[in-house]
């Protein structure tokens, strides 16, 4: 029995755009004052387009997991503000959130798979 290897084809432009928006929409929590908007928007994109585009399925799950992880990290840092270490951690978490969301957006726009660092993989 031989294993047939199929090369990964570059996602079409529509799939790349949806994946890019799934990553980019994570910044909604930092920009818009809607609570947890950075989780709802990638979730909606992922649920709406995952059956149509496998690339959006993988990218949407990754973006969603990263946004959920960043919300958890932010809440922990906010609680730690009571012992003053949170005042140092919270800006670091927000900067980490912003930088890696931009990196994920650019990589998705180029059609590349991107795995965020220190992400809790809740959505499989």
Taking the C-alpha atoms of residue 38 and residue 48, their distance in angstroms, rounded to an integer, is: 16
- Encode pLDDT of 62-76 as tens digits: 999 999 998 899 889
Average pLDDT across the chain, whole number? 85
Mean pLDDT along residues 76-99: 90
- Phi then psi for 35, rounded to 5 degrees? -60, 130
Cβ–Cβ < 8 Å for 28, 41: yes
């Amino acid at each position: 029995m031989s294993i047939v290897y199929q090369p990964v084809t570059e996602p079409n432009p529509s799939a790349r755009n949806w994946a890019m928006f799934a990553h980019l929409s994570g910044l909604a929590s930092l920009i818009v004052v809607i609570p947890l908007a950075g989780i709802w928007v990638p979730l909606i994109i992922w649920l709406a387009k995952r059956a149509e585009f496998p690339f959006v399925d993988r990218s949407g799950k990754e973006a969603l997991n990263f946004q959920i992880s960043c919300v958890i990290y932010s809440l922990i840092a906010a609680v730690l503000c009571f012992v003053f270490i949170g005042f140092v951690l919270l800006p670091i978490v927000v900067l980490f959130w912003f930088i890696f969301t931009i990196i994920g957006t650019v990589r998705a726009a180029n059609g590349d798979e991107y795995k965020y660092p220190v992400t809790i993989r809740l959505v499989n």
